[in-house]
């Protein structure tokens, strides 16, 4: 591998349930855009990183496994510029994510990480309540890793699943009624898009408050390429319900790839490590 080559690392399929093709597409499109601008590119599977004999100067990674992140962290220590950084990807694991977002005083539904064996006695259905139960370590790797429960009897099958997967902690998040919005961002104001989850309508133009919230959330975690979900209530409140490192950008892959390529060139060219405030 040439020293100045941009290495793209694909996400492990276990961390890409139902999104393997889409996740690969945004990375491929970004690398194609870099190649179009004259940069050398190469790709690798996350599981193969520890077999590299050389160290790349620049890495664009979607990997999330501890094994891959350990290799990337070692490269970072030797001077490789990794986007997103290893620390930010680890921050996006469920437990540190919830903690960091809460510390930043960002608007979230009531969210608690609870030991699995304490969930049943910690969740109250005395008043009409709906909860989302999510695995407390990483983001969902299968559909059952996120469960909506509306009554106590629905807790049992949900908890049985987590127990069968040896998941020790669960995120219990109160349900908030409203419109679900999916958003995508790059850098500090470089790029932002927002879409209604229900029909895919692009509502970016009317979502300046969400844009600001998304950038603050990404900054709290350290992410440069990110996406997430929020709820827009009938009262006009925006509550953040999830944040992810390097999503598929499936609703805006082409434009996102162009902006990600431009962003990474601007922060990595010549070894620059500072994050720009705009692109």
Task: Output the average pLDDT for the chain.
Answer: 90
Tell me how far apart the alpha carbons of residues 206 and 203 are, in angstroms, rounded to a whole number: 6
Closest CA to 7 of 76, 66, 59: 59
Instruction: Give the CA angle between residues 102, 108, 110 to the nearest 5°.
Output: 90
Domain edges within the chain: 6-90+254-271, 110-174, 177-249
What integer pLDDT is reported at residue 4 of this predicted model? Answer: 63
* Residue 129: per-residue pLDDT: 85
Those residues with Cβ within 8 angstroms of residue 66's Cβ, 6 or more apart along the chain or in another chain: none
**Between 173 and 53, residue with greater pLDDT:** 173
Task: Look up the CATH number of domain 110-174.
Answer: 3.30.1490.20
Q: Per-residue pLDDT averaged across 264-269, rounded?
A: 80
Token pair for 132: 């989302």
Dihedral angle, C-alpha 134, 138, 140, 144, nearest 10 °: -50
Gap between the Cα atoms of 67 and 1, Å rounded: 21
* CATH classification number, 177-249, choose in 3.90.320.10, 3.30.230.10, 3.30.470.20, 3.40.50.1970: 3.30.470.20
Between 55 and 42, whose confidence is greater?
Answer: 42
Q: Measured between alpha carbons, how far is 254 from 107 in angstroms, rounded to an integer?
A: 31
- CATH code assigned to 6-90+254-271: 3.40.50
Q: What average pLDDT does this structure show over 75-91?
A: 95
pLDDT of residue 278: 47
Q: pLDDT at position 142, please?
A: 86
What's the whole-number mean pLDDT along residues 27-56?
91
Instruction: Calculate the dihedral angle through the C-alpha atoms of 251, 102, 147, 131, rounding to the nearest 10 degrees.
Output: -120
Highest averaged pLDDT of the listed ranges 52-66, 212-226, 256-270: 212-226
In the structure, what pLDDT confidence band is assigned to residue 36 with cuts at 50, 70 and 90? very high
**Taking 70 as the threshold, does the pLDDT of residue 271 lie above it?**
no
Residue range 203-260, pLDDT digits in tens:
999 899 999 999 999 999 999 999 999 999 999 999 999 999 999 999 999 999 999 9
Tens of pLDDT along 168-197? 999 999 999 999 999 999 988 789 999 999
**pTM of structure:** 0.90
């Amino acid at each position: 591998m040439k020293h100045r080559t941009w290495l793209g690392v694909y996400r492990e399929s276990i961390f890409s349930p139902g999104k393997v093709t889409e996740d690969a597409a945004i990375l491929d499109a970004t690398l194609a855009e870099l190649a179009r601008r004259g940069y050398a590119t190469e790709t690798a599977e996350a599981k193969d990183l520890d077999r590299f004999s050389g160290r790349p100067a620049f890495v664009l990674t979607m990997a999330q496994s501890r094994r891959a992140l350990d290799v990337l962290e070692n490269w970072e220590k030797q001077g490789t510029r990794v986007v997103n950084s290893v620390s930010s990807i680890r921050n996006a694991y469920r437990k540190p994510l919830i903690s960091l977002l809460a510390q930043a005083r960002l608007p979230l539904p009531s969210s608690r990480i609870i030991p699995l064996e304490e969930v049943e006695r910690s969740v109250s259905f005395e008043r009409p309540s709906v909860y989302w139960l999510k695995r407390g370590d990483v983001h969902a790797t299968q559909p059952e890793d996120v469960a909506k429960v509306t009554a106590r009897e629905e807790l049992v099958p949900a908890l049985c699943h987590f127990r069968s997967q040896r998941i020790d902690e669960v995120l219990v998040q109160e349900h908030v009624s409203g419109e679900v919005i999916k958003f995508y961002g790059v850098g500090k104001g470089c790029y932002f898009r927002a879409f209604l989850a229900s029909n895919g309508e692009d509502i970016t133009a009317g979502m300046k408050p969400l844009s600001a919230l998304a950038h603050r959330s990404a900054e709290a975690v350290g992410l440069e390429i990110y996406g997430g979900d929020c709820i827009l209530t009938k009262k006009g409140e925006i509550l953040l319900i999830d944040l992810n490192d390097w999503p598929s950008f499936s609703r805006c892959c082409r434009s996102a790839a162009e902006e990600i390529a431009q962003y990474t060139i601007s922060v990595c060219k010549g070894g620059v490590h500072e994050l720009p405030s705009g692109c």
